[in-house]
Amino acid sequence: MAFRDRRLSSATGAAVAPGARPPASYGSATGTPPGAHRGRGLDEGLGRTDRADAWWFVPVIQAVGLLVLIGYANYAAFLGAAHYHYVDGGRDYLSPFYSPYLKPAWLPGWVSPALLVLVFPLGFRATCYYYRKAYYRSFFLDPIGCAVGERRVKYSGETKFPFILQNVHRYFLYAALVFLVILWLDVFRAFVIDGRFGVALGSFMILLSTGSLTLYTFSCHSLRHLVGGQLDCFSCAVAGGPRHRTWLGVTWLNEHHMGWAWISLFCVCGADLYVRLLSMGAFQDPRLL
Ligand code: FES
């Protein structure tokens, strides 16, 4: 019995065999064929366009959001090593930026332990397909938007250095999956108060951070490809049934990947800020249960 048709392709676009002529519909259906005219905007002055909509709004909002949140993350990682952990009142909350906490003896005192672990989550975000689009548009201004004049430095894909390095994304995904296991252990610790199950506002902050990171990771394009890519027939494949159901779930999450990217970034920064303020004695952690 064949599974129902895929609603969406599991790959990023339809493939054309090497040397074959793309069908006439290729451009309009799946993107611009290699070598074809790449659209209005490529030869225009920066920002010139006939578009009458607020095309600049999303790049501006993205730039502001990324500057604020990444600026905060840098502050927390580089300068905030004094308040990454809250152990008081029977609670044990660890900032997600510092998890797993590693401080080997050889690490100079002036280097934040966060820097040893952040390379993996940062690499995962920096090479994320959604964030690439966001920072190419918002910071490189190339491409800045459909049918809008670009910077003179022409972005031409990710086939050459340095952008070819973006292809390591799948390896950062493997690291991110390992990190999730560690972060969930922090969640369990956050729900232990005075040695027993307990719930406080801080428990929820840590849960929100790790929960949203899990949804972000499980909505990853590379994970979707790992689960269902390169397969034309689930019912012919080993473990095709469970694989197909997993692929459908990852596909559903993947359709909202941009949302998970932003929500998880807010929640991770929020959890760090909460732990930091508790550790500084700014307020008490309300116990809920
Ligand atoms: Fe965004 Fe993989 S594509 S995390």
Residue 213 belongs to a domain:
yes
User: What's the DSSP call for residue 128?
Assistant: -
Q: Answer whether residue 8 shows pLDDT above 80.
A: no
Mutate to test the pocket of ligand 1, among 133, 169, 250 (most ligand atoms within 8 A of CB): 169
Question: Which pLDDT tens digit goes with each residue over 181-214?
Answer: 999 999 999 999 999 999 999 999 999 999 999 9
| 33 part of a folded domain | no
Query: Looking at residue 9, what is its pLDDT?
Result: 39
Task: Decide if pLDDT at 2 tops 50.
Answer: no
pLDDT band at 49 (very low <50, low <70, confident <90, very high): confident
Q: How many domains does the structure of the chain reveal?
A: 1
Phi, psi of 187 (to 5 degrees): -65, -45
Within a domain: 95: yes
Q: How much is the average pLDDT of 117-130?
A: 95
- For residue 64, being part of any structural domain is answered with yes
Q: Is 63 a domain residue?
A: yes
Q: Which residues pair with 287 in a beta bridge?
A: 200
Contact 134, 144 (CB under 8 A): no
Of 154 and 167, the one with more pLDDT: 167
Distance 49 CA to ligand 1 centre (A): 30
Measured distance CA(71)–CA(60) in Å, rounded: 16
> Could you tell which of 215, 220, 224, 226 is best to mutate to test the pocket of ligand 1, judged by most ligand atoms within 8 Å of the CB?
220
| Residue 12, domain member (yes or no) | no
| Residue 16 maps to a domain | no
Q: Considering the domain boundaries, does residue 31 fall inside one?
A: no
Q: Going by C-beta distance under 8 Å and a sequence separation of 6 or more, which residues neighbour residue 86? A: 92, 93, 202, 275, 278, 279, 285
pLDDT at 6 over 70: no
Question: Domain residues for 123?
Answer: 58-219+256-279
Per-residue pLDDT at 16 exceeds 50: no
Residue whose CA lies nearest to ligand 1 atom number 2: 220
Question: What pLDDT was estimated at residue 79?
Answer: 87
Bridge-based pairing state of the strands 91-94 and 85-88 = antiparallel
130 lines ligand 1 (CB under 6 A): yes
